[in-house]
Each structure stands twice: as structure tokens, then as C-alpha cells.
Chains A and B, each alone.
Chain A
Amino acid sequence: MTNNPIVKGKLVCVALNDASQFEAMQAEFNEAPYKSAPTQPVLYFKPHNTWSTEGATVEWAVSEGQAADSMVVGASLAVVFGKECCRVSQEEALSYVGGYSLVHDFSLPELTYYRPDIKGKCLDGSAPTGSVVVPACDVADPQALTVVTQVNGETVSEMPVSNMVRSVAELISTISYIMTLQPGDVIAVGFPGQRAPIKQGDKVSSAIAGVIELNNVAGRA
């Protein structure tokens, strides 16, 4: 496990923020166990044992001594806080951002969103971030960014931030009314609804063109 240079406190991830996934799941949302669509951002933590770095090989999940059948990966724009952020409006939200980076979320497949997915999401080293934080002043509009992910050189997803259900500013505001964010806290604002399936040994690379990239390898069990 490596010390992450970016995340200092909390790594908050937003699930179900891909608008196309959110639309496609409307019927499912109305059934058990959900019964109705989420009215709030769907959030989860990646705890400190998951934090890792650019270039890291991510351990393959092992359960009961057996290598997991499948893992998936998604990439998100990472919003890194530069100052304490408590109960801020959408209008002022971006002024609390110190900069931007990328985060990979390696996990078991997202089979259900009903209960916190500790088994799937808390694997050691499963949340690498980019090696640097690109200063917020160098990113005119985070909504204009697109995160592209490749597995073994083949593009598996292209996720424009503008295709998210909730914008970066809206998420910062909403989350800041739940929990005070500190410098070095990170929000991963949204992942492609279709997480990319990976195999042991796969190379996973994500990039925001001209801004930052993140390269990892899926380990072998």
C-alpha cells in the first residue's frame, strides 16, 4: 500500500451520477428494494486503506482464498478541496476547490446499491489518484471536461462531466451541508454507469485531455 499524495482526509464518491445510467434505471428504482428513485446524491466513502497512486498495481480481490471472478473499474474527475468548505451555495462552491485530479475506483461489480458495499468498494489500494493536483485556476470550467478510460489501449468509456445528473458545484454545495470538507478532502463526482470489466494484468489508463492522466495495472491474485 502506498501513501497517497492527494487525499488527506475523506474520499467521498458519488454513485449513480451518470445521467444515462440514471435514466435507464428508472423502472428498477421503483421496485424493491429501492421502491423510489433517489432524491439525493448517492454517496460512498473509499476509506484510507484504498488510497493509492499513479502507476500502482491494484491488488486483485480475493474472497475466501479464491480470486474474485470479476472486477470492474471506473474513473472520475477528483475535486480536491483547498480550504475548509462548510454549507456553501452552488454559486460559491467552486471557489473552495484547490484543484482537480483523477481517481480510479476499482471494485467488485456494482450488483446492488441497496446496502453500503464494503465488500466491493473497500479493497486495499483500490482508489488510486493522479500524481498531481491541477490548480483550479488552470481549469476554466470543470463541466467542460471529459474523462476517457482505456483498458489495454482500447477506449472503454468517455464520460463528459456535463452528462452527470448533478454538476460539480451542486454536489459540493449539497455535500457541504452534510459534512464539513477539509483541505485535502476529495470528492469523486461521478463515474460511468457502465463500469469497465477488467481481467488480472489489465492496464487501465484514464485521462482528461491536456489536464491529467492516471495509469494503473490490475494485479494478479
Chain B
Amino acid sequence: MTQNPVKLADEVVIDRDDLQQILDVLESDGYQTIGPVIREGVMVYGELKTVFDLPVGWTDEQGPGSYRLKKSDTPTLFGYVVGAQSWKKYLYPSVSRLWRSEREGNGFSVIEEKDQFPAYAFFGARSCEISAISIQDRVFNNDKYSDYNYNEIRRKSFIVAVNCTKPAGTCFCASMDTGPKAFAGFDIALTELLTNKRHFFIAEAGSDRGASVLSRVTFRPVTKDDKALALGVHQAALRQMVRRLNTSNLAAIFSDHFDHPQWEKVSGRCLTCGNCTMVCPTCFCHTIEDKTALDGLYAERWRKWDSCFTKDFSYIHGGSIRASEKSRYRQWLTHKLVTWVEQFGTLGCVGCGRCITWCPVGIDITEEASVIMQAPDGVSPSI
């Protein structure tokens, strides 16, 4: 295997049968590789030892409130898009212990967790998900404070992106400028190409680390025809994406239409179950929970994902600030699409469509936003 080393931004071709080598190199570099695997009828992210752990030959069908995995007639490795889980499962675990404490005489001692975090390789991250990670990077590293756990895990993680070739019915990344093709934030980006004769990947080195990994696998140079094929696939993916979110006047949702009747309407359907916040790859809200042993001699503090859809979320002595369902849906949507911008300089939505797919009643953020962006009587909004 005498090849020229791959450099940053280089593109190379890797045959389907050689893809395992990437996993092998990552393992030898000490990464624990996580990728899409099938568990109990859905695609989740889990440990990936071989390429055969991937959902080979599976595709998904997604719509508001519905998700189905389906066998396809092609042996693609990445013929589906995103499932309920996102990489935040690893970067920002749903529960984590912050410290333990023991009673000592009149007082107590606090023992901080000294976690050892594994170096993860996220294999098969979609463009929207990478955007979500970059958004959470800003959240957990705000103007005043940094989150130790998140930043430790993040610093060590390696990202292998996969460019989407077939969007799901709930995807709208194109209108959020976050996909379907990965443009930044990855170490390696793969485009899966399957013709009658060949099954191969174009791999792009997005970082020096990525280039180093690619240099150690079997590849051949990319040809003009390969590139044309990839371009066709990327363009087709873009064309197939039917769902859109009009982002031209999102600010009006908060500033002008805070009392829009649609909030009330949607709250009639919303179960305030919080599914959308759990599956959202950018949602970061959490609660701090103190637990104490019954004998009172031992206590722990945990951090747990929380949802703005609960009444408790805004509770201060005397009652909840957001008591109505309407106000809680409004908080979530306006946070994603309006106030997030002021907080973090970016929208809080990447167009992955999870909140639409996993909403038990199929509430669609793109539809709700487009109704609320307009003045209630159909009068065009003031700009």
C-alpha cells in the first residue's frame, strides 16, 4: 500500500469493501466508534465494530408522527437519514452525575466526579447533525462559562460525516442552510455512490486528523466521472427535499405575533409531552437534581435533560411562569427560531425534522412557523 498521503481538503475514492479499514484505523487510533445500528425496529446510535453492524440495505420512511424502517432493494450502507437519537446522546448524556457528597459531622464534603471520557468517533453523522453539534458547541461554551464534560468529550471526538443522498419526508435542512451535503465540522466526509457495477465512497478530508486516517486506508484518486456522479447525487437529494421553512421573517414570530391565535390552536393538539425537545439535536435544557440517601449520610447531584414543555420548568415560588400549554409550545418554537439567534448568533433549528417525525400528533414546526409568521387575518406581516 504505497500511496501519497492524503492532505486536508483532498478527495479520494474508497471501495465499499475497503470501508472497514477506516473503522480499523480509528480503532487503532484509540477511538470508540459509534454509528447507526438497528435496535428494536429503529435506527439508533450505538457501538460499531464492523461495517456489517450498519443498517445495510435499510431505508426509512418518515412523516409527521411516523417513522418506519424498510428493507430496500439496494445494498446501501447509508440509505436512511436520522433517527430519534442524535450525537448529543454522547456529547451531552441525558443523565450525568456531577458530584457526590458525604455527611461529615456538622457538615459535608463534596467529591467531584473525575470522569474519564472515551474518545468517540462518530461514524455517519449527517450534515444537519454536524450543524447541531456546532450549535451546542456555542451553548456549552457561552460568553462566561464552559461546560467541562461537554467540551472534554467534544475535544476528543472524531467526526465521519455522511452526505445525505435521499432526504426523508420530514427533512428541511436545505432551507436552514445546514445540508444535505456536509460543508464543515467533519474530519472525514463520505458520499456513498452505487451504480450497477460499483459501490464506493468519495471521502473528503476535512481536517488533518481526517487526512491522516485516510492516508492509512486503501484508496484511489477521484476521477472527473466520480465527481460528476457525486454531484448528481447531491443535487438529486436537494431536489427531493419537499419540506421548507421560510426563514425570511422569523423574528416577527416573537416581536409581532406573540399573541397570534395559532399558538392557542396548536396547543389544542400539543400534548406537551416534550418528545420534540428530547429528539432535538440542539435542545440543551437540563435540570439539576439532588438526591440523598434515606439515612441522610450520602448525597449526589445529577444533571438530567429537561424540557420546557413541563410546567415545572418555569416554576418559581407561587406558580409556573408558563402555566398554559400555549405558552410552553410558544417558548419552544420561539426559542428555536428567534431568541436563539440573540443568545448564540445562530438559529436553534437545523432542519433535521426529528421534532416532526417524533411528535405523537405530528405537529410540524415548518407549518406552525409559516402560519404564525403571517398576520392572523391573512394580512401580510409588517416588515
B is a partner of A: no
B residues with a Cβ closer than 8 A to A are none
A residues with a Cβ closer than 8 A to B are none
